Amino acid sequence: MLTNGGVQPLIADQMQLFGTMRVRSESWGWFNPAGGNYDNNYTFSHNLLRFGGKLPVAHRVSGIRPFETLVEASAPLLLGLPHQAAGPAPLGNLGMGGQYRSINGSQQGSLFIKQAYLRMPQKGKSPEIMAGRMELIDGNEAVPGDADLAYIQAQRVAQRLFSPDAFTVVGRSMDGFKLSQTNGNHVLTVAGFYPTTAAFNLDGGDSISKLRQMYFADSRSTKNTSNRFFIDSYVDARGIKAVDNTSTATTDAIKLTTLGGHATTTSTHGKLRTDALLWGGTQQGQWGLSRQDAYAAVAEAGIKHPAFSGWWLRAGAGHFSGDTNPNDNKHQSWMPQISPPRLLFRTPVVTQSNLNDLYAMAIKRNKKETIRLEAHSYRLDKLADRWYTGGSAFQATNNFSLTGKPNGGSRNIGTAIDISYDVTLNARDTVGLYAGYVHGGDTVAATYAGRSVFLGFAQITRKF
C-alpha cells in the first residue's frame, strides 16, 4: 500500500474479530381458529450466528479524518417451523412461526451482510459520522447516569420509531447515514436511511429503497433525567395495499411527519425512590389520498422502597389513536413505522395502533439477573376501527406488515400476563427465559373460536 500521501498500511493484528451465537426454543399456542386443520400449537428452533471484524479508528487515507471500519455477516437458521400456521383473512398468521413459514416457504436459512459501515468519531465541532449499513435505535441518544432510569429508557422509550428488531431471527439494518454532535449531556442527531428486508424475511440483505425515513433529535440527560424532542419523516412508496379500516385501502404513497418527545426523571425521598416517564407524539401528513391526523401518548411511574424486598413496582397507560370514520378523508390510526412487534407487548397480539393499554410491572434487578412480571389490559381506542396486529414493514413487495381484524362490535381485546428471567452467567454467556399468556376478549371472539395465546421460550446467547 502507499505510505506517502496515500493509504496507510494496515497491521493484521489490528483487526478485532467478534461474533455471537443465539439458540432459542420458541413455543407458540395461538388463538384456536374455528374449523380447518391448523397448526396453532407448535415449537420451533431459532438459531442466529453473527460474526464480523472491526478495524479500530486510525489514519488510513491521507486527508480524511481517522475512521473505524466494521463488517458483520448474519446467518439465521430456522428449524421445525409449522406447516399449517396461517389461514385466510382475517385469521392471518398463527404466531411468529406461521409468519416465518408464510414469508419463506421451505427456505430455512440464509447468509447476508448485516452491517458494513465507516465511523468517524467526533472531533471538535465536527460531528461523529456513520455511513453504510448499520443498526439504529431511536430514543437512546442521551442516556441518564442512573442505571434504573437508563434501563427504563431502553425498554420503554427507545425503539418506538425505528429499531433493529432484535427478537426476530433476521432483525433489521438500515442503509444510510447518521450524524451526531455531543456537547456534554446535550446530543444532536440526524439520520436518514432505507431499512433492509428484515424480521421474518430470511433474505435480509436487500435495501427497501421505496421506504425511507429521516430523523432529527435534540436530546439531553443528567444523572437523574433525560429528555428529547424529535421530528421524524416516514415515506412508504412501495405501492402495497395499505391495511386500515376502509373497504378500498390505498396503494398510494404514505407520507408521515411525526413530532414528539420524551421525558424521564427519578428522585429519592428518604427511603422512597420514585421515577416517571412521558412519551408522546403527533402524526400529520398523507395516508394515500387521505389526510393523516393521529397521536399517541404514554405515561408511566415507578416506586422502590425497602419494604418491597427489592421489587420495583411500576404502572402506566398507553394510548395510540384509532380512526373514527372509515368513510371520510382522514386517517386517524397511529402508524407504528419501523418499530418491533414485541418490545412493548411481549406476547404480541396487539401493536401501536387503535389501542388503549393499561399495565402494571414488578421488576427485580441486580448486576447479573433481571426478573420482570407484567400485566396488561388491552382495549381498542375506536370501535369504527380494526384490531391491528403485526409490526413494521419487512419486505419490498407483497406484505404491508400490519394485519387488520374485525372487532365484532367490542373494544375488549383481552388481558395479558407474563414473566421473564434473564441472567448473565459469565462474560460470554447469557440465558433468557420467558412465559406469557393472553386471554382474549369479545374482540378476539369475532375472529377465533379459542381465546388463549401462549408464548414461551428459552434461549442462550454466547459471545466469542
4 part of a folded domain: no
> What are the pLDDT digits (tens) for 429-442?
999 999 999 999 99
Confidence band for 390, pLDDT divided at 50, 70 and 90: confident
**Are the C-beta atoms of residues 330 and 306 closer than 8 Å to each other?**
no
Q: Are strands 290-304 and 330-331 parallel, antiparallel or unpaired?
A: parallel
Average pLDDT, the chain: 94
Which alpha helices (H) appear in 146-275, and where do they start and end? 147-152
Which residue type is seen at 262? H
**Range list of β-strands (E), 83-137:** 86-87, 92-93, 112-120, 128-134
CATH code for the domain of 394: 2.40.160.100
Query: What is the domain count for the chain?
Result: 1
Q: Do residues 44 and 97 make contact, with C-beta atoms less than 8 angstroms apart? A: yes
Q: How does residue 35 score in pLDDT terms, banded at 50, 70 and 90?
A: confident
Assess whether pLDDT exceeds 70 at residue 157.
yes
Alpha-helical runs (H) found in 304-365: none
Task: Count CB atoms within 10 A of the CB of residue 266.
Answer: 20
Cα dihedral across residues 204, 85, 458, 148: positive or negative: positive
- Residue 68's Cβ-side half-sphere holds a number of Cα atoms within 13 Å equal to 16
Place of cell 434487578: 365
**Residues of the chain above pLDDT 70, percent:** 97
Rounded to an integer, the average pLDDT of 381-410 is: 92
**Which of 296, 295, 293, 355 lies closest to 330, judged by CA?**
293
CA atoms within 13 A on the CB side of 343: 24
218: in domain: yes
Inter-CA distances, 151 with 145, 155, 312, Å: 10, 6, 12
In a domain, 6, yes or no: no
Distance CA 249, CA 117 (A): 38
- pLDDT tens for 95-110 read 999 999 999 999 999 9
Name 363's Cβ contacts closer than 8 Å, sequence gap at least 6: 311, 312, 314, 370, 371, 372, 373
pLDDT of residue 1: 38
pLDDT in tens, 113-140: 999 999 999 998 899 999 999 999 999 9
284 domain-assigned = yes
Cα–Cα distance measured from residue 128 to residue 179, given in angstroms and rounded to the nearest whole number: 6
The Cα angle at residue 182 between residues 143 and 190, in degrees rounded to 5: 90
Q: Tens of pLDDT along 240-283?
A: 999 999 988 899 999 999 999 999 999 999 999 999 999 999 99
The pairing of strands 402-405 and 186-195 is unpaired
The predicted pLDDT at position 2 comes to: 39
pLDDT of residue 217: 98
Residues paired with residue 32 on neighbouring β-strands, in sequence order: none
pLDDT at 23: 98
> Per-residue pLDDT for 7 more than 90?
no
Q: Is residue 5 part of a domain?
A: no
- Residue 11 pLDDT > 80: no
User: How many angstroms separate the Cα of 15 from the Cα of each of 70, 325, 390?
Assistant: 10, 58, 40
Q: Which residue has the higher pLDDT, 69 or 399?
A: 69
Query: To which H or E segment does residue 231 belong?
Result: strand 225-236
Q: What is the pLDDT of residue 6?
A: 47
State the residue range of the domain holding 70: 12-463
Residue 2 inside a domain? The answer is no
The tens digit of pLDDT for each residue in 39-97 reads 999 999 999 999 999 999 987 887 788 999 999 999 999 999 999 999 998 999 999 99
pTM over 0.85: yes
Asked if residue 144 belongs to a domain, the reply is: yes
Cell digits of residue 292: 393523516
112 touches 204 (CB < 8 A): yes
Q: Is residue 274 part of a domain?
A: yes
CA distance 388 to 17: 42
Neighbours of 36 (CB within 10 A): 11
